Structure 1
Amino acid sequence: MSAGAELAALLHALDTARRHVIAQVEALSEVDRRTARLPSGWTPLGLVRHLTLSDERYWFEVVIAGGSLDYWPEGEDADWHVPVGTPDAEVLAAYRSAIAASDAILHSHDLEAAPLRPEPEWAATGAFADVRTIILHVIIETSAHAGQLDAVRELADGGQYIVV
């Protein structure tokens, strides 16, 4: 498989999970988007914010492209909390914008390239040694969160997202 075909396949898998997340959140009522259904206390909009900041922006913008963490919100687990008064559409637009920026970054880096800003502890284990393993990690993360949203959606309104 060529590098271009491999990147296309990886991005297809990632984009499938991203669309799943967006579809589940958009299908919820405004109240349900901001309601925690599980004991851990996260909300569907909070999960979208987490995916925006901790997955799309951190892994692709910071780790792969070497960008700054100056966007990171203050406070414990702040990436999971939507500031009061933030419209739902703004949270979803930020996710879509981060996705577009991530895709541009991924199209400009070889799959074998080392990340420009790895965490120091990765050197000892060889974790996240290249763009490919980082994309795979984000596919897993996004897919896991999509599955969590499936459970939350079914608890909230009975809706089910059937993947064929």
Structure 2
Amino acid sequence: MTLPFPSPLLPRASRTDVLTGYLDFFRTTVVAKVRSLPADHRHVSRLPSGWTPLELVQHLEHVERRWLVWGFEGRPVDEPWGDADGDGVWRVAPGTDAGALLERLEAQGGVTRAVAAAHALDEVGAPGPRWDGGAPPTLERVLLHLVQEYARHLGHLDVVVELAGAGTGEEGPPDAAAPPPPATP
């Protein structure tokens, strides 16, 4: 399921609703696009950078948790950098269930909405290791960063989905079957 684009012409109750509305839209669009891919395309990279659609999903899940739970709220989380090895390259364990990974991303959206609802946009985050000794940002800055992160990566995913023949832009999957994935380098 995808949500309608959060048009700036539609009224929202608050700036928090605007920001979380964009995050919800981008997140559900990422999930729909990954689900539109044939299963064997979800584990294969089509780009020189080498990331796969499932690695992108796991990255986005960790990004939300890292910035809001571990960062802004200052709560401990297991493996805040668990989306990448020490080399910064995204990794997904072999045999990872795509459905479970997509469900975790959707569940993280619920956490994001709860954190956003519990704090004012001008509230400054908790000091902690996320900020590497720097001053924590406000919730608004964190949410704006997440909107940027999702928008950028959704654009990347648009290209991957198009190369796989599973749709373009904001369209759904085409009727034609997608071509086979390229050989892994």
What's the TM-score, normalizing by structure 2? Answer: 0.77
Partner in structure 2 of residue 29 of structure 1:
38
Measure the CA separation in 1 of the matches of 2:70 and 2:145. 15
Contact 2:58-2:92 within 8 A present in 1 as well = yes
Partner in structure 2 of residue 43 of structure 1:
52
The structural deviation recorded for 1:69 is 3.9
After superposition, the C-alpha distances for 1:132-163 in whole angstroms (9 at most, x for unaligned) are 01100000001100000000000111511337
Measure the CA separation in 2 of the matches of 1:86 and 1:114. 36
Find the residue that maps to 2:169 and give its secondary structure. Answer: coil
Partner in structure 1 of residue 15 of structure 2:
6
Answer yes or no: is 1:119 the counterpart of 2:128.
no
Asked which structure has the greater CA Rg, the reply is 2
Residue-pair matches, total: 156
Contact 1:46-1:79 within 8 A present in 2 as well = no
Q: How does 1:135-154 map to 2 (within 5 A)?
A: 135-154=143-162
Contact 1:111-1:131 within 8 A present in 2 as well = yes
The structural deviation recorded for 1:79 is 7.3
In the alignment, structure 1 segments of 5+ residues that lack a partner are none
Partner in structure 1 of residue 177 of structure 2:
none
Over 3 Å counting, the alpha-carbon distance change for 1:79 and 1:87 in structure 2 is farther
Contact 1:24-1:161 within 8 A present in 2 as well = no
Over 3 Å counting, the alpha-carbon distance change for 1:92 and 1:15 in structure 2 is same
Corresponding letter in the other structure for 1:6: R
Measure the CA separation in 2 of the matches of 1:47 and 1:63. 20
Answer yes or no: is 1:104 the counterpart of 2:114.
yes
After the TM superposition, list the runs of 4 or more consecutive aligned residues in structure 1 that deviate by more than 6 angstroms.
none
The structural deviation recorded for 1:67 is 1.5
Report the RMSD for the aligned CA atoms in angstroms: 2.1
Q: How does 1:14-25 map to 2 (within 5 A)?
A: 14-25=23-34
The structural deviation recorded for 1:86 is 1.2
Measure the CA separation in 2 of the matches of 1:99 and 1:158. 25
Contact 2:36-2:166 within 8 A present in 1 as well = no
Corresponding letter in the other structure for 1:153: V
Corresponding letter in the other structure for 2:109: I
Corresponding letter in the other structure for 1:106: A
